[in-house]
């Protein structure tokens, strides 16, 4: 039985990945600051172990048991207004956690073969209509998220110094009805409003949670898969089309579309509004060229599965 160590395993991506892995017979160890709070799990292939990034503390036995590490941990980028303090937390939570794992693997014998890390399409800048989709070879943006993703990925890539294979997924908007952006988009719809942010013409590179989890699973079961990949569906959509598709699937015709102007978003969200309004069209051709097939390549089928 192979063992997968997951950081950020209590988030909606981590929980879905844990379920898929244990269904296929993998032993999963989830790192948590409060492992005893999760000991009531009925899944005998799932255990929890302690780590504390700020204290640079980690359960060594858990690391040494792992054949693979999936690194999802990091403060929620959209969790709070981007104050100077929260921006520091966003960066530190990624840098310090990667460094803790690197130091542990460097200083102690282990059997980890592959390190699989999250990143984000926030790595890229903006591309509007007429510009080609971003590929993994494009340079990073020079804004806050671009710099954060660069640092985040550097923490993963240093694992190659320890002869570990590395896979990095630059993830778009992960769609799941119980968390993330879709949950927030859906909230006004409960009151009959389909809320379109800004002009609505900004491109959104999205991915169904089912496909995202399958990408991570594929990175584990496919020993030859290494490198950086955009984790996005083949068919990006403009923001207004995402919102209207969601509304039609969930409410039929029983809703009113409402635009929230860019200036109002800037007042309400501050610097973070730039990411909400940014147009990002990223290509998934590289991962498709490895043979990966998406279950939900189009937004309509994805929304129907999520909401009906």
67-87: pLDDT as tens digits:
999 999 999 888 788 999 999
pTM of the model: 0.95
Residue numbers of the chain with a pLDDT score lower than 70 = 39-41
Phi, psi angles (nearest 5°) of residue 275:
-75, -35
pLDDT for the residue 102:
98
Domain annotation covers residue 216: yes
Is residue 132 in a domain? yes
pLDDT of residue 40: 63
Establish if 307 belongs to a structural domain: no
What CATH number does the domain containing 11 carry?
3.40.50.720
* 263 falls within a domain: no
Q: Give residue 276's pLDDT.
A: 80
Question: What's the structural domain count of the chain?
Answer: 1
Is residue 196 assigned to a domain? no
Residue 93 lies in a domain: yes
User: Is 246 a domain residue?
Assistant: no
Is 290 part of a structural domain of the chain? Answer: yes
Q: Which domain holds residue 58?
A: 3-174+206-234+281-295
């Amino acid at each position: 039985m192979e063992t997968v160590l997951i950081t950020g395993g209590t988030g909606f991506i981590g929980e879905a990945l844990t379920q898929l892995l244990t269904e296929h017979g993998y032993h999963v160890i989830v790192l948590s600051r409060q492992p005893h709070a999760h000991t009531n799990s009925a899944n005998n292939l799932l255990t929890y172990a302690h780590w504390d990034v700020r204290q640079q503390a980690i359960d060594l036995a858990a690391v040494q048991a792992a054949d693979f590490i999936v690194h999802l941990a990091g403060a929620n980028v959209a969790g709070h207004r981007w104050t100077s303090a929260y921006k520091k937390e966003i960066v530190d939570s990624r840098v310090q956690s990667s460094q803790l794992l690197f130091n542990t693997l460097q200083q102690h014998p282990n059997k980890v073969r592959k390190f699989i890390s999250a990143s984000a399409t926030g790595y890229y800048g903006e591309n509007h209509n007429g510009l080609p989709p971003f590929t993994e070879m494009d340079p990073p943006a020079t804004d806050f998220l671009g710099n954060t993703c660069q640092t985040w990925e550097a923490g993963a890539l240093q694992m190659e110094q320890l002869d570990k294979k590395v896979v990095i997924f630059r993830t778009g908007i992960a769609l799941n009805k119980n968390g993330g952006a879709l949950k927030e988009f859906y909230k006004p719809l409960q009151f009959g409003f389909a809320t379109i942010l800004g002009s609505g013409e900004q491109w959104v590179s999205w991915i169904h949670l089912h496909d995202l989890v399958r990408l991570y699973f594929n990175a584990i079961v496919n020993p030859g898969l290494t490198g950086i990949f955009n984790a996005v569906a083949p068919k990006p959509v403009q923001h207004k089309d995402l919102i209207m598709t969601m509304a039609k699937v969930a409410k039929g015709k029983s809703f009113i579309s409402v635009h929230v102007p860019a200036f109002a978003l800037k007042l309400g969200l501050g610097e973070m509004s730039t990411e909400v309004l940014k147009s990002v069209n990223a290509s998934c051709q590289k991962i498709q060229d490895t043979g990966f097939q998406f279950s939900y390549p189009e937004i309509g089928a994805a929304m129907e599965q999520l909401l009906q």
